[in-house]
Structure 1
Amino acid sequence: MAFMSIRDWINRESFQGFSLCIGFNHGPVIAGVIGAQKPQYDIWSNTVNVASRMDSCGVMGRLQTTENTAKILMTAGYECECRGLTYVKGKGNLVTYFVKTPFDGKL
């Protein structure tokens, strides 16, 4: 994973110890440019909100995803570990999964 080597370089060069907590989801999104003074390209939808929640209720150093996304990833050959029911703000209790990576606990 390229972001791991970049993160390691940043930590080395800046004498820091940054870690990552990553959440993702799949589904439809809406995209567009917003703002008149300083235009910015942005995406938004329930898909984006749930991905953000996967990050905020995740575990440092782990990659967390929803059950539906985990099923797709497992079909594609990725190994996922069921975390179980997790309280997700605005969504209630959802079954979430950790995606197994060579960097588990070290993201």
Structure 2
Amino acid sequence: MQISGSALSAGLGAVQAGQRRIDQAGSDIARQTLPQREEQPAAAAQAQQANRPDPAQNTPPVRAPEPTADVADSLVELRVGQTEAQAGAQVITTADEVLGTLVDVRA
């Protein structure tokens, strides 16, 4: 029974590691592809607020992201995470089948 328990633990660990990798890659992709707001110095922001009563006009300009090779790296990491999670799920499935067979043999 200890072998089956350790296989389940290993499979669960692989699924969790794959999910963490997927989460990190997804965050990296979003950060690299979404437009970024340009920061304004505090004095300039206050001057704009004094001159413009409309708060909608106080939003800083949006800068388009620059394409980088990092997005490709993040996409690869996303796929690696998917494969890692699927492999972990397969280990769990196999350990479950082995455990079921052992229970059937003992009964």
TM score, norm. by length of structure 1: 0.21
**Structure with bigger gyration radius:** 2
Which structure's residues are more often strand, by fraction? 1
RCO greater where, 1 or 2, for CA within 8 Å and sep 6 or more? 2
TM score, norm. by length of structure 2: 0.21
